[in-house]
Structure 1
Amino acid sequence: MKIREVMKLQRKVLGITQQDLADMSEVAISAIKQIESGKGNPSLSTVEKIMDILGMEVKYEICQTV
């Protein structure tokens, strides 16, 4: 799943609106809408704020190719 799909699904599971998520995460509603529609390109800090509100965490993985 893509981050936008996970975000939208978890938001709906929690029963919160896009506006609620924007208010709680202090991220603009327009940014929330863009992310969920796949048109946004959020910064990592924005994603972390949103995921924190949704009760999720961002996992970083670094892969090295030979």
Structure 2
Amino acid sequence: MENLGIRIQKRRVLLGLLQPELAAISGISTRTIQLIERGQGNPSLETLIKLIDPLGLKIELVLKDPTPRIEA
């Protein structure tokens, strides 16, 4: 499964934003963004919303597990 941090990082890069730029836009510190993108952060829902809103992402798509599940 592609983790949350990778999804955020891919979108940020696609938009041509550096971490400090996203930090300035979102109000979330650069350090927090670094941790989240590395999969080391555990953001609150409020932090996550502040971070993904400027990226044009929807919370349900960011949190959705893209890996298909096979039921036995």
Using the size of structure 1 for normalisation, the TM-score is 0.85
> Residue 3 of structure 2 contacts residue 39 of structure 2 at CA under 8 Å; is this kept in 1?
no
Report how many aligned residue pairs link the two structures: 61
Cα offset, 1:58, TM superposition: 0.4
Structure 2: stretches of 5+ with no match in the other structure: 65-72
Higher relative contact order (CA 8 A, sep 6+): 2
- Measured after TM superposition, the shift of residue 2 of structure 1 is 1.4
One-letter code aligned to 1:24:
I
Moved over 6 A (4+): none
Q: Could you say what the CA RMSD is over the residues aligned between the two structures, in angstroms?
A: 1.5
CA contact (8 A) 2:12 2:18 kept: yes
- Aligned partner of 2:57: which letter? M
**C-alpha distance in structure 2 between counterparts of 1:53 and 1:46, whole Å:** 12
Question: Shift in Å at residue 21 of structure 1?
Answer: 0.5
Name the CA distance, whole Å, in 2 between partners of 1:8 and 1:33.
Answer: 9
Residue 39 (str. 1) matches residue 58 (str. 2): no
For 1:64, the equivalent position in structure 2 comes to none
* Alpha-carbon distance in 1 for matches of 2:21, 2:11: 13
Distance 1:2 1:48 in 2: 16
* Structure 1 unaligned blocks of 5 or more: 62-66
Q: 2-side partners of 1:28 and 1:8: how far apart?
A: 15
